[in-house]
Every structure is written in C-alpha cells, then in structure tokens.
Chains A and B, each alone.
Chain A
Amino acid sequence: MMAVLAAILDSFGGRAGHNTAVVLAGTMLLGVAAGVVGVFAMLRRRSLMADALSHATLPGICLAFLLATAVGSDGRSLAVLLPGAAATGVAGLLIVNWLTRATRISEDAAIGAVLSVFFGVGVVLLSVIQALPTGNQGGLKGLLFGQTATMHAADAMLLGVVAIASIIAVTLAFKQLGLVAFNDEFASAIGVPVRAIDLLLMSLVVMVTVSGLVAVGLVLVVAMLIIPAAAARLWTDRLRTMAVLAAVFGGTASCLGVLASSRLDRTPTGPSIVLAAGCIFLLGMIGAPRRGVVAGLGRQALVAARVHADHALRSLLASPQDPRPIGVVLPPGLIGRLARARLRRLGLVRVNGSMIVLTPEGEAEARLAERRRRLWERYLVTHAEVAPSHVDISADAIEHVVDPEIVARLEAELAADDARRVRGGADA
C-alpha cells in the first residue's frame, strides 16, 4: 500500500518518499474515522460540541508543553501534547454540559463561551511560552492550522492506530450508536445503556479531534467531523450507506488535502483538507437528488407550476372553446411561465398571442384532472385517519399512491353520486 501511495505521490511530482506515504496513509485513515464518527455526532446533534472541544485543547497543549519543558524533556513530542490537549478538551465539554444543564444559558451560548474563553487562555499561555528564553513554539503553531510537512512517520502511525481503533469501535457498536442517535428514549426503554453509548461517542469524538489536531489544526479539525457526515447525509437516508459514504468522503478529502499541501508551496494541510471536503459537499449540495439545494428549489417550483397548471385547466374547462387572456388563468413570473410550458409541452393548450385555449387533449385532461381531484377529495373524507399522509400533489394518478381496490370503490361511489345528482336534476 505504501508503495502505491508513493507511486501516486510521484505521479503528482511531489517530493515523495516513504515518510510522506506514511503521513498520507495516517491522515487518510483519520479522515475515514472522522467521517464515520461525525455521522453519529451529527445525528445526535453534537456537531458543534466538537468545535468547543477542539478549541479547548489549546490551553492543554500549552500546559503540557510548559510542563514537559520544565522537567527537561522535549515539549513538542505528540506523546506529551496530545494527552494535555485531551485533558482540557474534555474539561471544556464538561463545562458546556454543566452550563446547559444547571443554568439558564442555552447550549449555543455555552459552546461559544467555552470555545472562545478556553482558546483565549491558550493564546495567553502561547504568548507566555513565546516570551520564555527556552521557548520554541514552532511546533505548537503548527497545531493551529495543521502541518503534515513536519510530521514524522511515528506520528502518522499513531494517527493510523487511533483511526483504526475508532473505526473498529464504531463497527462493533454500530447498532447501538444508531439507535441512540435515532431515538434515545426508545433505546433506553429496550435496555441499551444510553449514557454509556453517549460516553463512547464523545470519547470517539475526543480521540478523533485530538489526533486530528496534528493534521488539520485545532481551528479547523471540527470540519473533518462535520463536512463528510453532512455531505453523506445529502445523498442518502440510510445509516449504513451514510457511514460508508462519510468514510469515503473523509478519506478522499484528507488524501486530496495532503497531496495539495505537499505539492504546493505555502499551503497548510488543514485548510486544504477542509477545502477539499467543502468541494465534495458542494457537489452533493448541487447534485444530490433528494436533499440537494438545487433539487429542492427545482422541485418546489415544479410543484407550484403543477398546481397552477391544474388550476388553469379547471378554469379553462368552464368554457372549453373560448380563448381567455393568459394573465387571467396563470400568475405572472417564473411559476406561471413554468406552468404554461408544462401545459404546452403536454399539448394541453394552444397559446395565441396573449390568449390561451384548451386543445381537445387538454379538455380531456382537464376532465380527468377534475375527476382525480374529486377522487382525492372523496378519499380524504372517507379515509380521514390515514389519508393526509398519502396525499401526493405530484402523483399523476391517485392509483400510484393509494391501494387500487380503494380507488375502485371510490370510483363507484362517485359514479353513484353522479347518477343521484342526474336523477335529482330530472326530478326537479
């Protein structure tokens, strides 16, 4: 695998070597782990907790550095810095929890306050370190925005191990994590230890965040948890698919980011990874079929156009042969134009200058639409308890949504109604 990665790196013309390949592998694995863990964090609505957590690691990093330097060891080794980071990070999380639970301060304010104040403490400590005669904070600054260039193979191995452990943990607890994220009360009712699962989730978030500091930097590491998960959410509603997709997105973004950072000058790794993830998200946002923004906006316009087209047909049916001014049967603006385009495409109307008239097909369709409408209406009042969840504005026929047997019965009832009305008319 290392050889393959090295080959990829070579083909990119980078200064590839064994070290870079290991770094790339470690970071990619971390991206995969962050994607998977992020899915559950997002579904449990803890995404921004990770932001508080990552910013709260700074004072821990500085304190660990100061302590290590004071006892004369190398303050810049990850084995020293990461436990420190985790310690204050977890402290930050606990404070967020306490503020939300025990005071009137809402969660968003608690997250923001902890995030900024802890970071402020870190900044003060950084400036103290800078002022120390022995201080060499070069390694620490790298943790702000991530710098894989200075990463050693051993560090990357550490990342890889953490990532693989997280992935295994998620795989083992997949069902429980999913259940708790979906419905914690139900989970606890059937005996899933919700608190333990939550604790597991938060520990995974802490592990991924803290080890992600090295690659992405603490300002942006939260993006590795959020973006791949949110991007995966755009494409699917199934948990398993979502986790797999998030893993793929996370891995790809890390890979692209590291490559860009190693190939281009003055390109810190963290922002590159985040930008790569952002591009992946953008693709989903534009292209995803159900949750994409474009699809959403388009669908909304089409539904509106359809409703107006149906109204127009009904209104024209009142006098099927007479042309009417377009402005009277359709609203102006985009929706009206879409509705008109739909009617013309289906050959239901002819437009003559500013006048619009039904074609024979249009008249037939209008009668059909009227019938459909009456069927829906009838369905709503005869099956009131289930009907609203079935009604579908854009289904071409009620049969597509409602059981055909029921439709047949509704048809029969309508026919009986009509017959009664005709008889009643004859009597009068």
Chain B
Amino acid sequence: MNEGVYGFVSIDLPPLLAGTLACVTCAILGNYLVLRRMSLMGDAISHSVLPGLVIAFMLSGSRDPLPMFVGATIAGLFTVGLVELLRRYARVEPGAAMGVVFSVMFAMGVLLLERGAGRQVDLDADCVLNGVMETMIWFPPEEAGSLARWSTWVSLPRQVWTLGVVLLVVLAAVGMLFKELRIVAFDPGLATSQGFHAGLLNTLLMVLVACATVASFEAVGSILVIAMLICPAASARMLTDRLWVQVVLSVVLAAAAGITGYLLGAYAPTLLGLPAAVSASGMITVVAGVIMLLSVLFAPSHGTVARRFRRVRMSLRVAREDLLASLYRAEESGAAARAVASRPVDAIVLRRAIARGQVRLANGVPALTDRGRDVARGIVRSHRLWESYLVERGGLAPDHVHGTAMRLEHLTDSASGARFEPPQPDSPTDPHARPIPPR
C-alpha cells in the first residue's frame, strides 16, 4: 500500500466510518422524533445516558459494550418514564419536566466521572461532549491487497463495529415496523384502537434512540448525536411530503454531512495554514447545520425563499390584474386612462403587462390590447358577480362589498387556473347598476 493511502486508511478511515455510521443511525430515528415533536426527548436522552454509562462501568468494571448498552438504555428509559410521570402526575409543563430530568441526570453523570470513575473509564466530561473521533486509529496489515480480506476489516476499532451493528438493528426495526411507526406518529389514538399499542411502540422508539445514542456517544460525542437526531430529519422535512422519501433523504443528507464534515475538519485547517486539525464532530455538526439552513431557505416548495418568491409573484399578478381592470373600467366609462406608473412597483407591473401583450403604450399612455381586454373583462365580470352575490346572498350593503370583491376577483382554481365565479345573479347588472360583462 502506498504511504499516503495507508495513512488515510489508518488515521482517517476509522473516524470517517464511525462518524458517518453515527450520523446515519441517528438521522433515521430522528425522523420520528421530529414528526412527533419529541426532538427534545432525543436531546434529553442523549444527556441522561451518561450516568447510565458510568454506573454500568462501575458495576461491571469493564468497558464491554454490553453492560454499557444495558446501563445506558435503562437510563434512557428511566428518563422517558420520569418525564412522563412528572408531566402526568405532578402536572409539570413538558419542557420544564424534560429540563429537570436531563440536567439532573447529566449533572450526576459528570460528577460521577469527575469524582473517580472517569480515571478508569478514560472518559471525561469533555469527551462526552466532543467524542473521541480524533483518537481512533487502525493498523491494518501494510501489504497491498490486505483490504480485500475480510479478516482485515474485523480488526477495525470496536466503536465502528458497534455502530455498524446498531445501524443494522435500527434499519431492521424501522424497515419492519415502518407502517406501525407511521400510524403511531400520525394518529396514536387510532393506532392503539387498532391494537398497535402507542405506548409500546413509543418505548421501542426510545430504546432505539438510547441504543443509537450510546453507540454514537463514545465515538462522536453527545452534541453530534443531538444534531444528527434533528438536523437531517428537519432538512428532509423541508424537502418532501412523503415519509419514506423523507427518511431516505435524511439518510443521504446525514451521510453527506458526516463525510464532508470529517474531511473538512481533517484537511481544511491545513490548507488554511492552521497548525492542526479542528474538532471533527464539531465540523460535522456545523455542516449538518449548514445543510439545514440551505434547505430551510431554498427548499423548492416549503423553503422560505420559494414562499417569499410565490408571495411576490402573487402580489405582482394581483397588481397587474388591478391595472387591467382599471383600464377596462376607464374604457367602459370613456374616460381617459390616467398615467398609472406613479410608484416604482407600478412601472414593473406595467412592463410585465406589456411583455404579456395585454397592454400597449399609445403616446406614453397605457391602453388595453385585444388580448388584455379579454382578460380584463373576465376580471371585471368576476368582480361584479361577486358584488351581486355578496349583496343578494350575503345580505351586505352595496357600498360595503367593493373591498371584498377586490380580493375575491383574483381567486383562481389551483388546478385548472380558471377564475372562480359565483352563480349568475337574477339581475343583469351589479348592485351599482353597471353591466356584468359576458364571459
């Protein structure tokens, strides 16, 4: 193996794998937490598994994954149970209940660590937050082709294997219980009444979150766990309206964040001339945050930019229609068209109307083209129909309906694009005795 490649494989590959696996595992489960508005339960669990881990270590005296898992899972379930107990029987507000439980549990964990247990576990409060990604090293045999042998991969650091197994378990559980988890998240009452006990499935989800947390914890730290439980799922939520698409997208985004974040953390500082690498788990979190920010801003239909754009386009359309209608009314009454471009936005509206061939300028004064007149007639017709409707059916006074009709005349069916029209009134004119134009 060439030296550079070996360096990468031995120093970068294990943390890269561990980081990516942790990201993906947490992201899958995060979808359900985010949808059920229980994101902060993930936060609470990932803080409060700490005393579970430490106590399990103190009792078993070893760093075997199994006791650690059991301890942490018990601590996680204890947290969930305690929060529920406080909420239900002590009537503590849910946010406060979570805050009380997780901060006390975390404080207990930190104290236990600092006061001795930490020495033997070689965990300290700092690595609880940040993980030990940087210290994960792997020494596969150096000869070429060793990576093609299974036995080489078996010697990967324990954290990577643990994460791999947990990911498989999570995948299996979510794959087999996809429909059950979905119905419980959407409508727990219906789920329970159909025999899919909401409490049971909820507990299962919490057990999975606790397992994912523990497995990721050691490798990447609790902050990255919280970020990965929330950010990829929330980003995917912005991008789609299908649950399975959301789950798949969250996995892709999480993997992307894991890989990019790690590589940025490991190599970017050197490129920038800084002396050493920066925290990889911190960098992955930052990348996940950036991905979330981008999807919040630029998601095609739910993003804030798209929404703002639609709102602007809508108000431009309304302004253009108002312009056409006012030109139509001016023609109708024989009055000369006024110069309409008094505000900058009016100039834009006028230009757009000209571009659509609905208005032309005659000696600097706007006038309707034939095509524009057709559209304008539709708008004015709709306006006057609405006025009649509001007076005849709604029982409103004729001088009170203009404003409402001004809004209603712009309504169109989202599918066909056709303008809504209320039923034809009894009289051929509107309440102000103006004719209702034909269609």
Q: Which residues of A contact B274 (CB under 8 A)?
A: 128, 131
- With known contacts A104-B238, A223-B107, A112–B229 Cβ distance under 8 A: yes
Instruction: Please state if A227 and B104 are interface contacts (CB–CB under 8 Å).
Output: yes
Q: Which residues of A contact B283 (CB under 8 A)?
A: 120, 124
At the interface with chain B, which of A68-76, A159-167, A271-279, A376-384?
A271-279
At the interface with chain A, which of B60-68, B91-99, B146-154, B384-392?
B91-99
B170 within 8 A of A: no
State the 3 A-B residue pairs at the shortest beta-carbon distance, nearest first: A120-B285, A117-B289, A123-B282
Instruction: Please state if A223 and B104 are interface contacts (CB–CB under 8 Å).
Output: yes
- Residue-wise, chain A 20-45 has the 8 Å CB interface mask toward B (1 for contact) of 00000000000000000000001001
Q: Which residues of A contact B96 (CB under 8 A)?
A: 42, 47, 226, 229-230, 233
At the interface with chain A, which of B37-45, B329-337, B397-405?
B37-45
Instruction: Please state if A230 and B92 are interface contacts (CB–CB under 8 Å).
Output: yes
B130 within 8 A of A: yes
Contact of A116 among B89, B108, B231 (CB under 8 A): B231
Q: Which residues of A contact B42 (CB under 8 A)?
A: 112
At the interface with chain A, which of B109-117, B199-207, B417-425?
B109-117
A321 within 8 A of B: no
Inter-chain CA distance A268–B107, complex, in Å, is 10
A109 within 8 A of B: yes
- With known contacts A112-B40, A123-B279, A285-B86, A278–B99 Cβ distance under 8 A: no
- With known contacts A119-B285, A226-B100, A281-B104, A42–B93 Cβ distance under 8 A: yes
Chain B, interface SS category? helix
B286 within 8 A of A: yes
Instruction: Please state if B110 and A145 are interface contacts (CB–CB under 8 Å).
Output: yes
Q: Which residues of A contact B89 (CB under 8 A)?
A: 293, 296-297, 300
Interface size bracket, A side: 35 or more
Instruction: Please state if B278 and A220 are interface contacts (CB–CB under 8 Å).
Output: no
Inter-chain CA distance A42–B91, complex, in Å, is 13
Nearest Cβ distance between residue A398 and chain B, in whole angstroms?
27
Q: Which residues of A contact B277 (CB under 8 A)?
A: 127
Q: Which residues of B contact A123 (CB under 8 A)?
A: 129-130, 223, 279, 281-282, 285
Instruction: Provide 13 A-B residue pairs closer than 8 Å at the C-beta atoms, listed in order of the A residue.
Output: A51-B43, A113-B231, A120-B282, A120-B283, A121-B282, A123-B285, A128-B278, A131-B276, A144-B129, A230-B96, A271-B106, A275-B104, A275-B107
Inter-chain CA distance A109–B37, complex, in Å, is 7
Inter-chain CA distance A47–B86, complex, in Å, is 15
B302 within 8 A of A: yes
Inter-chain CA distance A45–B92, complex, in Å, is 11
- With known contacts A105-B296, A229-B96, A117–B231 Cβ distance under 8 A: yes
A194 within 8 A of B: no
Nearest Cβ distance between residue B216 and chain A, in whole angstroms?
13
Starting from the known contacts A113-B39, A118-B289, A267-B114, 14 additional A-B residue pairs (CB-CB under 8 Å) come to: A47-B99, A105-B237, A109-B233, A112-B43, A113-B292, A117-B292, A119-B223, A120-B286, A131-B278, A145-B110, A226-B96, A278-B104, A278-B108, A293-B89
Inter-chain CA distance A51–B126, complex, in Å, is 18
A335 within 8 A of B: no
Q: Which residues of B contact A264 (CB under 8 A)?
A: 115
Instruction: Please state if B302 and A267 are interface contacts (CB–CB under 8 Å).
Output: no
Instruction: Please state if A220 and B92 are interface contacts (CB–CB under 8 Å).
Output: no
Instruction: Please state if B93 and A127 are interface contacts (CB–CB under 8 Å).
Output: no
Q: Which residues of B contact A242 (CB under 8 A)?
A: none
Inter-chain CA distance A382–B111, complex, in Å, is 62
Inter-chain CA distance A285–B97, complex, in Å, is 11
Instruction: Please state if A108 and B40 are interface contacts (CB–CB under 8 Å).
Output: yes
- Residue-wise, chain A 253-289 has the 8 Å CB interface mask toward B (1 for contact) of 0000000000011111011101101100100010010
Nearest Cβ distance between residue B54 and chain A, in whole angstroms?
12
Instruction: Please state if B98 and A48 are interface contacts (CB–CB under 8 Å).
Output: yes
Inter-chain CA distance A230–B93, complex, in Å, is 8
Q: Which residues of A contact B195 (CB under 8 A)?
A: none
Nearest Cβ distance between residue A384 and chain B, in whole angstroms?
28
Inter-chain CA distance A406–B238, complex, in Å, is 60
Chain B interface residue count, Cβ-Cβ cutoff 8 angstroms? 67
Nearest Cβ distance between residue B179 and chain A, in whole angstroms?
23
Q: Which residues of B contact A272 (CB under 8 A)?
A: 107, 111
Q: Which residues of A contact B108 (CB under 8 A)?
A: 271, 275, 278
Instruction: Please state if B238 and A116 are interface contacts (CB–CB under 8 Å).
Output: no
B230 within 8 A of A: yes
Q: Which residues of A contact B111 (CB under 8 A)?
A: 267-268, 271-272, 275
Most buried by B among A226, A230, A272, A300: A226
Q: Which residues of B contact A45 (CB under 8 A)?
A: 93, 95
Inter-chain CA distance A75–B385, complex, in Å, is 72
A-B contact count (CB 8 A): 219
B155 within 8 A of A: no
Q: What residues of chain B have their CB less than 8 Å away from a CB belonging to chain A?
A: 34, 37-40, 42-43, 85-86, 88-93, 95-100, 103-104, 106-108, 110-111, 114-116, 125-126, 129-130, 223-224, 226-227, 229-231, 233-234, 237-238, 265, 269, 274-279, 281-286, 288-289, 292, 296, 302, 304, 307
Contact of A226 among B85, B103, B114, B115 (CB under 8 A): B103
The residues in A between 102 and 159 inclusive whose CB is less than 8 angstroms from any CB of B are 102-106, 108-109, 111-113, 115-124, 126-128, 130-133, 141, 144-145
Name A297's closest neighbour in chain B (CB-CB). Answer: B89
Nearest Cβ distance between residue B374 and chain A, in whole angstroms?
38
Inter-chain CA distance A264–B114, complex, in Å, is 11
Instruction: Please state if A220 and B107 are interface contacts (CB–CB under 8 Å).
Output: yes
Q: Which residues of A contact B237 (CB under 8 A)?
A: 104-105
Q: Which residues of B contact A105 (CB under 8 A)?
A: 234, 237-238, 296
Q: Which residues of A contact B229 (CB under 8 A)?
A: 112
Q: Which residues of B contact A314 (CB under 8 A)?
A: none
- Residue-wise, chain A 88-108 has the 8 Å CB interface mask toward B (1 for contact) of 000000000001001111101
Inter-chain CA distance A104–B100, complex, in Å, is 28
Q: Which residues of A contact B107 (CB under 8 A)?
A: 220, 223, 270-272, 274-275, 278
Most buried by A among B85, B223, B302: B223
Inter-chain CA distance A223–B95, complex, in Å, is 12
Instruction: Please state if B106 and A220 are interface contacts (CB–CB under 8 Å).
Output: yes
Nearest Cβ distance between residue A82 and chain B, in whole angstroms?
21
- Residue-wise, chain A 214-235 has the 8 Å CB interface mask toward B (1 for contact) of 0000011011001101100110
Instruction: Please state if A51 and B99 are interface contacts (CB–CB under 8 Å).
Output: yes
A350 within 8 A of B: no
Q: Which residues of B contact A293 (CB under 8 A)?
A: 85-86, 89-90
Contact of B234 among A109, A126, A277 (CB under 8 A): A109
Q: Which residues of B contact A119 (CB under 8 A)?
A: 129, 223, 285
Instruction: Please state if A291 and B286 are interface contacts (CB–CB under 8 Å).
Output: no
A292 within 8 A of B: yes
Q: Which residues of B contact A267 (CB under 8 A)?
A: 111, 114-115
Q: Which residues of A contact B238 (CB under 8 A)?
A: 103-105
Q: Which residues of B contact A266 (CB under 8 A)?
A: 114-116
Nearest Cβ distance between residue A229 and chain B, in whole angstroms?
7
- With known contacts A103-B296, A112-B226, A124–B279 Cβ distance under 8 A: yes
Inter-chain CA distance A219–B125, complex, in Å, is 11
Inter-chain CA distance A229–B282, complex, in Å, is 33
The residues in A between 326 and 373 inclusive whose CB is less than 8 angstroms from any CB of B are none
Q: Which residues of A contact B286 (CB under 8 A)?
A: 117, 120-121, 124
